[in-house]
Amino acid sequence: MAVPKRNLASRIHVWARREEAVAQISAAGLADFASTDLREVTADATLIILATPVPFMAAIAEQLATFSLQPGVLVTDVGSVKATVVEQAGSTLRAAGVEFIGSHPMAGSEQAGLEAARSDLFDGAACIITPQDDTDRAQLSRLELWWSALGCRVSKLSPGAHDEAIGRISHLPHIAASVLTLAALKNDPALAKLAGQGFRDSTRVAAGDPELWLGILKENRDAILHPLRDLQEELGRVLAILENMNDEHVLKFLQDAKGLRDSCQHP
């Protein structure tokens, strides 16, 4: 929806695993060509975007590596974990002479499926692309242009640095939201009817698809444990502060957090 709106491609081909999804995509007029046949969909492609859950990307890359793709084709993905994707899907493709660079547009919501699609999904969203030392510079510039033209604020990080950063800024909040939901409602689920906008916002991401998030947490476990331990430490610290209820310490805790939070506004 965003690509034709911004005139970024002459044709859009969509692959989907299920015939029903292909039918839905065609009926919604979202593709010039849609099919369950990966070879047919990718035959003339100059840019291929893997948009499946992370655990399925390696197998798709293996298929792609056996096709005769166009010279100069670039493959990227939109997964939220990068080191394993680059190691697996990326290595498979590059061994077959196809350039792969990882992308992570931080758009979307707790919703899934075609119903959640919006043409302004990428407006102002952060997007991290993860070049390696030997990444083709022209392809890197092209990928940066692609996401910028879609409205993203693009940063570059190595795959490993991406996973560390995202473990802290995206995966940690997901687990924190789930933990908060359990601590608030497990003993008395009827409290949910008293939930205000603050609680709903603080826990929104915990409504995301559990299967999808299981995949993400598995792939990025090592980069998540460290920030989770930091969260545990900060929580212990504030508990001690509240137990003693020293005004100055409580105020400093609230001010420090507000200062950091205020730096997260949209640019």
Tokens of 144: 């940066």
Of 11 and 221, the one with the shorter C-beta distance to a copy of itself is 221
By CB under 8 A, tell whether 224 contacts a copy of itself. Answer: yes
CB 72 within 8 A of CB 43: no
Candidates 27-35, 93-101, 140-148, 186-194; binding stretch for a copy of itself (CB under 8 A): 186-194
CB 92 within 8 A of CB 60: no
By CB under 8 A, tell whether 82 contacts a copy of itself. Answer: no
By CB under 8 A, tell whether 225 contacts a copy of itself. Answer: yes
| Least distance between a copy of itself and beta carbon 246 (Å) | 11
Of 99 and 144, the one with the shorter C-beta distance to a copy of itself is 144
Candidates 18-26, 51-59, 132-140, 233-241; binding stretch for a copy of itself (CB under 8 A): 233-241
Q: Write out the binding residues for a copy of itself, residues 197-216 only, by CB under 8 A.
A: 197-208, 210-211, 213-214
Q: Write out the binding residues for a copy of itself, residues 154-173 only, by CB under 8 A.
A: 155, 165-166, 168-170, 172-173
User: Within the chain, how many helices (H) and strands (E) appear?
Assistant: 13, 8
Region at 264 (left for phi over 0; alpha for psi -120 to 50; beta for the rest): alpha
Q: How many residues bind a copy of itself (CB under 8 A)?
A: 88
CB 235 within 8 A of CB 257: no
| Least distance between a copy of itself and beta carbon 213 (Å) | 5
Sign of dihedral through CA atoms 87, 93, 98, 100?
negative
243 burial level (CB within 10 Å; 0-12, 13-18, 19+)? exposed
Indicate the residue type of 70.
Answer: Q
Indicate the residue type of 233.
Answer: E
Q: Which of 5, 6, 118, 258 binds a copy of itself (CB under 8 A)?
A: 258
* DSSP code at position 82: -
Alpha carbon 235 to its chain's center: 27
Of 59 and 182, the one with the shorter C-beta distance to a copy of itself is 182
Q: Write out the binding residues for a copy of itself, residues 129-158 only, by CB under 8 A.
A: 153, 155
| Least distance between a copy of itself and beta carbon 79 (Å) | 14
| Least distance between a copy of itself and beta carbon 158 (Å) | 14
Q: Which of 36, 63, 66, 109 binds a copy of itself (CB under 8 A)?
A: 109
Buried b (16+ CB within 10 A) or exposed e, 110-143: beeeeeeeeeebbeebbbbbbbeeebeeebbebb
By CB under 8 A, tell whether 20 contacts a copy of itself. Answer: no
Candidates 25-33, 61-69, 95-103, 196-204; binding stretch for a copy of itself (CB under 8 A): 196-204
Cα–Cα distance measured from residue 208 to residue 212, given in angstroms and rounded to the nearest whole number: 8
Of 133 and 243, the one with the shorter C-beta distance to a copy of itself is 243
